[in-house]
Chain A
Amino acid sequence: MSTKPMNTPEKGASSCSRRNFLKLAGIGGAVALSDLAHASEQTASPGKGAKGVLVDTTLCVGCRQCEEACNSANRLPKPDKAFDDESALDEIRKTSPTAYTVVNRYNVNNVSVTRKQQCMHCVEPACSSACIIYAMEKQPNGAVTYRDDLCLGCRYCMVSCPFDMPKFEYSKAAPLIKKCQFCFDRQVEGLQPACVEACPMEALKFGNRNELIDEAKSRIYTQPNNYIHHVYGEHEAGGTSWLYLANVPFEKLGLPMLNSKPYPEMTAGAMSTVPMIMLLWPVLLMGFHHFTSGKDDAHNGHSNSRHVR
């Protein structure tokens, strides 16, 4: 290169392409780094420390003491209907920003079944992978907790959650998401979740998720006529920390029918194309540009004056 005069086209072309190459290398490096960040942010798989709760709906009597315990543990405002008012079960209720768990009564083939509902604390949570700022954090103990100091209030977690558990404070000027935290603070202190502790029927059982699955299966095995032969939550949406047993089909109890595909995988394919597009598009586009502007050179005798503004 040094043997040629400075103003030859070859020199210009080679330095230009080297600069372009460096630019592309810079973009590539940035993409690679962002991909590393990706890898480190993988959601936790259910390890040995992952806790869960087994809900046996055949034992639940609908006393709503779990609701009351949740209400006081989370210091939530008292509801309109008192917790001992059984008429609350006459309608199907949903959780709300002021009630993280509710018990509903379903009539299935003239059998009345009560089921407590709350955040399922998915093994691979949809809300966590959807959240723009990872305000829904998956904890090693299985809880999906919420960072109210980070949340933007975009409500994509609500769109993503198949169980519709994140609830939004629509009537507040600075609204946040509210949902069951699996009594994370209590668990840190070595306590059970408030609702489990309050249950007088032992319909709720807190423990290691793996052991609870074994327990659920042994209940089905020992009382095969008493249960649908399925543990809801073992595989649904990739698995949930909260598990259900029932003697009627689960879809009759307001639980969505889901396959075992974890929700983060729904968008993983689309997200994996991001680095490809970032690396391939510039090269292809600049290639196009070279072809088309080359033609311009031959026919019009100029390259930069027209398409540069």
Chain B
Amino acid sequence: MKKLIHLFMGDPKKMFTPFNIVSGIILAMGFTIIGMRLIYGIGAVTNLDQDTPWGLWIGFDVLCGVALAAGGYSIAATTHLFGLHKYEPLVRPAILTGFLGYVLVVLGLVLDLGQPWRMPFVMLFPRGVTSVLFEVGMCVTAYTTVQLLEFIPAFWEWLGLEKVRQFWSRMTIWLAAIGVVLSTLHQSSLGSLFLMAPTKLHPLWYSNYLPVYFFVSSIIAGLSMVIVESSVSHRLFSYRLSPGSHFDLDELTLGLGKAAAAVLYVYFFIKLIGLAEGGHWNLLNTTYGYIFITEMIGCIFIPCMLYVYGVRTQNAGFVRFVGLWTVLGIMFNRFNVSMVALNWQLTPHYYPSWMEIMLSASLVVLGIWVFRWIVNRLPIMSDEMPVVGTNTLKALWAQAKAR
């Protein structure tokens, strides 16, 4: 029994670290807020009102969550479809991050919906086929499933079921391709959502190219997130790397940085085309104009140049720093489209309540906890980990039954 607890909980003596205590408090507050929402309604815990129906839970939990989880399909496509197999060591952590990211997105959405228990209705009664949101819902559901299927081979390995894993692996290429299709669709559709608000979204952000912007920037967010996530997890979970695997993370980081720089460069110019097409140059010299310029220069152009600099000087540490900068930059864009520039004529303008922020924070904490729990058990960081094996599980089960 003790062994079973150890397998699922880790060493109880080592549980009370400062991080665990702080994040545990955040989680507890998050659950309290969920309880309040379920009893007193969405208005009791958020600053949302009749003029501002969407706030932080859509802007951060859903829009940022989906964009930052784009590493899964980006890296899977790079490795499996484009044949750049040297990125293979990054695939599993990226898929796991992506999968958990999507689960958290769905969780965030559940809390934001008025009647979340009706979510199955969307599939049972597919009536809203002209709705962008319908497409987003279907794709997110399908893609979360695809990511689960992509991740499961690690589970078979953990159990030592080599034959099952091999059989399962036949799907890899197709799953990667379907993942790209579904991601193209829903990443861009999250931008299309705001096409329905031409009178409400600030003209500098409103553009018919919104879906293209959201898709292209999701690639940037995905690549940058993999840079950040791999560097953090390889530092924190270095003991989970098998001695045999000697891949050069710095080299991979530089490669990803190079790709991110290229996509950022393109993104900058397609944003510029949208600005020129809209023709609202006069609005640049307003408060909202300054926010837009901050996004264009500070979150797209400068990170692009810094990525180039980091790659040219072969400075992987610097590229990681730029990766974090870029991730925050894409989040800034999602915040602008969904909150800052939406209902821009409204006074007083919406800002999130502390409970909205706390709940979003507790979702992030939950993601980190589950990620850590899985990485500490399954072969994620490396495929040469000692496995649990079916025999160990059988023995544990027999022990548990004997008691």
Contact = CB atoms under 8 A, between A and B. Distances in A.
A309 B53 contact: no
Interface stretch (B178-186, B230-238, B351-359, B391-399): B178-186
A201 interface: no
A188 interface: no
A23 to B, nearest CB: 8
A150 interface: yes
Contacts of B82: 288-289, 292
B118 A150 contact: yes
A158 B177 contact: no
B131 A134 contact: yes
Given A267-B195, A270-B195, A285-B77, A129 B135 contact: no
Contacts of A43: 130
Contacts of A228: none
B10 interface: no
Given A160-B196, A168-B114, A176-B114, A270 B127 contact: no
Contact of B185 (A131, A133, A134, A278): A278
Interface residues of A, number: 67
A132 B131 CA distance: 6
Interface in A254-309: 256, 258, 263-264, 266-267, 269-271, 273-274, 277-278, 281-282, 285-286, 288-289, 291-293, 295-296, 306-309
Q: Chain B interface mostly helix, strand, loop or mixed?
A: helix
Interface in B54-94: 54, 77, 79-85, 88, 91-92
B81 A152 contact: no
Given A162-B199, A171-B41, A94 B50 contact: yes
B222 interface: no
B196 A41 contact: no
A175 interface: yes
B134 interface: yes
A271 B130 contact: yes
Nearest to B189: A270
Contacts of A41: 127, 129-130
Contact of B115 (A34, A151, A286, A293): A151
Interface string B149-164: 0000100000000000
Interface string A237-263: 000000000000000000010100001
Interface residues of B, number: 74
B328 to A, nearest CB: 25
Interface in A159-187: 159-160, 162, 164, 167-176
B177 A307 contact: no
B110 to A, nearest CB: 10
A292 B195 CA distance: 38
B206 to A, nearest CB: 10
A164 B51 contact: yes
Contacts of A213: none
Contact of B83 (A23, A269, A292): A292
A21 interface: no
A132 B141 CA distance: 14
Nearest to A176: B114
B336 interface: no
Contact of B132 (A135, A271, A296): A271
A155 interface: yes
Interface string B253-281: 00000000000000000000000000000
Interface stretch (B21-29, B167-175, B284-292, B296-304): B167-175
A264 B130 CA distance: 8
A164 B52 CA distance: 10
A1 to B, nearest CB: 23
B83 A295 contact: yes
Contacts of B112: 154
A291 B113 CA distance: 45
B79 A307 contact: yes
A277 B83 CA distance: 22
B188 interface: yes
B247 to A, nearest CB: 13
Contacts of A291: 83
Contacts, number: 202
A172 B169 CA distance: 48
B195 A174 contact: no
A158 to B, nearest CB: 4
A171 B50 CA distance: 12
Given A130-B131, A160-B196, A282-B181, A307 B83 contact: yes
Nearest to A165: B50
Nearest to B181: A281
Interface string B116-141: 10110110011111111111010000
Contacts of B51: 164
B402 interface: no
Contacts of A176: 114-115
Given A131-B128, A173-B40, A151 B53 contact: no
Contacts of A308: 169-170, 172-173
Contacts of A168: 42, 50, 53, 114
Given A34-B129, A271-B130, A155 B114 contact: yes
A170 B113 contact: no
A293 B199 contact: no
B150 to A, nearest CB: 9
A26 B345 CA distance: 48
Contacts of A126: 196
A270 B189 CA distance: 8
Contacts of B39: 173
A134 to B, nearest CB: 4
B53 A155 contact: yes
Given A171-B40, A270-B192, 15 more contacts: A128-B130, A135-B128, A152-B116, A152-B122, A153-B114, A273-B211, A274-B135, A277-B185, A285-B177, A291-B83, A292-B83, A296-B83, A307-B88, A307-B173, A309-B169
**Which 5 A-B pairs rank lowest in CB-CB distance, beginning with the nearest?**
A153-B114, A292-B83, A170-B43, A155-B53, A158-B53
18 contacts: A130-B132, A150-B118, A153-B114, A156-B196, A160-B196, A164-B50, A170-B44, A256-B199, A266-B196, A277-B181, A277-B184, A277-B185, A278-B185, A281-B181, A281-B184, A286-B177, A307-B173, A309-B169
